[in-house]
Amino acid sequence: MPNPLRIGIVAGEASGDILGAGLIRALKKRYPDAVFEGIGGELMLAEGCVSHYPMERLSVMGLIEVLGRLPELLRLRKKLIRYFLDNPPDVFIGIDAPDFTLKMEGALKSAGIATVHYVSPSVWAWKRKRIYSIKKTTDLVLALFPFEPASYVETQQRIEFVGHPLADQIANDHSLKHARSQFGLEANDKVVAVLPGSRTSEVKYLARPFLETARWLSDTDPHLVFLLPAANEKRFAELKTIIDEEFADLNIRLVLKQSRQAMVAANAILIASGTATLEATILQKPMVVAYKMAGLTYAIYSRMLKSRYISLPNLLANEELVPEILQDNVTPEVLGPRLIKALNDSAYRSYLSARFSDIHSTLHQDADEKAADAVVRLLHDKGLSL
């Protein structure tokens, strides 16, 4: 009997956990006895992945924010590299978190281990020269978006566009009525979902401006109802404290998780830039996208940024479908009027729906299966097909 396939896999945050869980599930169809270990979240653990460290220890965003955690992150990465060098997997898969996982991939590839990076770093937006280091560290890149492979032509990187699992998971027929009944809402309520993000830093910088915007909107229309899904119990406790102490006057419902159902129930969404904007796009929900970070981090990032847009719907459409509000402009006076347009401009809402449908169709590629097939082909080419 041959030994079971061993797969090292590391995800750094909730979106990576979704990708990792789907990929594990698809790979298990091909290798039922495969062993998966590294770092994963609840979804990956449910698929049988053994996580050596809590995934939340990697979930940090921003240059300045990372600095405070840098010694811990470096120690953790060193331990993981040593573990996998001492216990070599047949393939190592780093999911997003490129500042953490690419270094791991390089060390393991140098030791003869096949490496995969799932989610192309944003080389089309900044750090274009990173394509050369990716070529050295990574045997295969799995890209979520169709425009990404073109960025790697120069290095002849092995890269495959696999689509996005969210486009496969989310159907177009989500019931507004059913979603609202889950939250005790009426069918004719006008609802705004408020999603300030899942990271500690996002809640720190966005929760209060978003809630202040909800108050601004409530002053213009007292009948508005607000839904605020918390990503986990820790975020729930933080947000509850803020609401109880500063926004008890708002007609807002704080719920644990259920972000997708909250988006389904909403007429419009105020949302942090990130993967959740893709969910909102696939659900065909008008949105206003915002982001705020430490001032020095923003000053550095803004100088590096080469792309016209930061939000996924605008990047994928190559046009400004939804407003993008950044840094000091993240205020009720800027966000509020744009949300009113998202709520009430029927022609705008109709145009968004059509364009969002096009994006969904492009990304609907059966991503988990395509990603698994690409990994299998890499293993076969490396002489490791079992």
Indicate the Cα dihedral angle 134, 64, 234, 193, nearest 10°: -80
The full DSSP string for 90-125 is SEEEEES-HHHHHHHHHHHHHTT-EEEEES---TTT
All residues at 6 or more sequence positions from 87 whose CB lies less than 8 Å from its CB, including other chains: 6
Q: Residue 91's beta-bridge partner residues?
A: 7, 114
The residue ranges of every structural domain in the chain are 6-163+365-381, 172-363
DSSP conformation letters of 264-306: HH-SEEEEESSHHHHHHHHTT--EEEEE---HHHHHHHHHH--
Cβ–Cβ under 8 Å, residues 41 and 126: no
Report the top-level CATH class of 172-363: alpha beta
The answer to whether domain 6-163+365-381 and domain 172-363 are alike in fold is yes
286, two tokens:
């008008």
Residue 232: CB atoms within 10 A of its CB come to 14
- Closest by Cα among 109, 108, 92 to 36: 92
Distance between CA 126 and CA 129 in Å, rounded? 9
pLDDT at position 64, please?
44
If the chain, 386 residues long, is cut into consecutive pieces of 10 residues, what is the mean pLDDT of each piece?
Answer: 87 90 97 97 96 82 54 92 97 94 97 97 79 97 95 96 93 74 92 93 94 98 97 94 96 95 96 93 97 76 73 94 96 98 98 96 96 97 77
Superfamily of domain 6-163+365-381: Glycogen Phosphorylase B; (3.40.50.2000)
Order across the sheet with 6-11: list the strands.
50-51, 35-39, 6-11, 91-95, 114-118, 140-143, 159-161
Contact 298, 205 (CB under 8 A): no
Distance in angstroms (rounded) separating the CA atoms of residues 178 and 254: 18
pLDDT of residue 351: 97
Amino acid at 174: H
Sign of CA dihedral 266, 268, 271, 275: positive
Neighbouring residues of 234: CB distance < 8 A, sequence distance ≥ 6: none
